[in-house]
Amino acid sequence: MWSGPAAASYTGRRSELKRALITGITGQDGSYLAEFLLGKGYRVYGLVRRSSAGNPERIRHLEGQVHLLPGDMLDQPSLVAALDQAEPDEVYNLAAQSYVGVSWQQPLLTAQVTGLGVTHLLEAIRTVNPKIRFYQASSSEMFGRVREIPQNENTPFYPRSPYGAAKVYAHHITVNYRESYGLFACCGILFNHESPRRGLEFVTRKVSDGVARIKLGLAGELRLGNLDSRRDWGYAGDYVEAMWLMLQQEEPGDYVIATGETHPVRELVETAFSHAGLDWRKYVVVDPALYRPAEVELLCGDYSRARDRLGWRPKVTFAELVQMMVDADLERWEKILQPGRPVDGDAGAALLPPAR
Ligand SMILES: Nc1nc2c(ncn2[C@@H]2O[C@H](COP(=O)(O)OP(=O)(O)O[C@H]3O[C@H](CO)[C@@H](O)[C@H](O)[C@@H]3O)[C@@H](O)[C@H]2O)c(=O)[nH]1
């Protein structure tokens, strides 16, 4: 196991702790990473868009511990200002339009934020302080139509969505800035990673939330798309440690972070329903409208480079992950249903057509 600095690591600054800036801090990964870095003694800054400032649920419990700065991946001056203010040693870019299904509906926004936004940030780092260590959230969606199983850092990319294409651009531009300017820039090619903090639109959380609502009599069915696609699902809490480890190495590099197991969506569904004592066949409706225009059929990651060089390995198993998510959603709905508490439905989302 790699033994990096266990607790707070000091920089050249007088009596100051290491500092990190996280973009996308209000998302699932941002919230886990912020907790992780605080635990290591970092001073943690988060870049927040005006619109997500109104959605701080995942980091509400860290209020007073993380320092939020206004900014937007599309607005380079705001990135420069955030870097000037935070003076980070490390920047973790977790900001993105991260929902694959939506990327067909908003292909240009996805390209701008998920793709070009990374160049804005790299340019800002290059001009403000090229010594900053940079982590880019690359994605297994870049592999797309895979021709090799499992996929590793040398597997060719063949993206199957506007999101995947934007991530390929972001990955290559990060590698290019490392090679052109000598930036300490790393790409973590993360396979699907989930948790009770996952957004409700992603399939794991849609399923765990659906199971909880059916179990508690709040819903009678769950509509899903393609049950045959296979994913390599890990626990987000495990994966943020790998992000940090990448930036503690002597040399920058790119790493696949995965579990090495692949499961069909159907197995996810079966596992989640049976954990709640339900037969999924009675409740799941396959809706062709939820199929994607192009699908990534199979993802399975080979994380041996991360294991050998970073000493990283996943801890939570697939079954433990699914059970953790179902239990968390059952608990959440039971709390919501307590007498006297209004049900906090998402009225805005209900007006939109179902997401695929
Ligand atoms: N979201 C969703 N997916 C469904 C549904 N029914 C079937 N699926 C299938 O479930 C699979 C997983 O979909 P998502 O959970 O939306 O995740 P993703 O497309 O694999 O993308 C996630 O993982 C990437 C890493 O590989 C991330 O980069 C990306 O941001 C996202 O987190 C896809 O094959 C999708 O077609 C449904 O109702 N909703």
Span 43-101, pLDDT tens digits: 999 999 987 666 789 999 999 999 999 999 999 999 999 999 999 999 999 999 999 99
Residue 148 belongs to some domain of the structure: yes
pLDDT computed for residue 12 by the predictor: 46
Cβ burial 15-40 (10 Å sphere, 16+ → b, else e): eebbbbbbbbbbbbbbbbbbbbbeeb
pLDDT computed for residue 353 by the predictor: 54
CATH number at residue 250: 3.40.50.720
| Ligand 1 atom with the shortest distance to the CA of 229 | 34
Q: Which domain holds residue 140?
A: 19-194+234-257
Residue 328 belongs to some domain of the structure: no
pTM comes to: 0.93
Residue 75 belongs to some domain of the structure: yes
- pLDDT tens string 264-296: 999 999 999 999 999 999 999 999 999 999 999
Mean pLDDT on 19-43: 98
- Number of domains the chain is built from: 1
163 in catalytic set? yes
Q: Tell me the ipTM for this assembly.
A: 0.99
The rounded Å distance from CA 28 to ligand 1 centre is: 15
Active-site residue identified among 139, 161, 208, 229: 139
| Ligand 1 atom with the shortest distance to the CA of 139 | 28
Mean pLDDT on 204-219: 98
Residue 152 belongs to some domain of the structure: yes
CA-closest candidate to residue 25, choices 53, 4, 64, 1: 53
Q: What is the residue-averaged pLDDT of the chain? A: 92
Q: Is the CB of 28 under 6 A from ligand 1?
A: no
Residue 346 belongs to some domain of the structure: no
Residue 252 belongs to some domain of the structure: yes
Residue 270 belongs to some domain of the structure: no
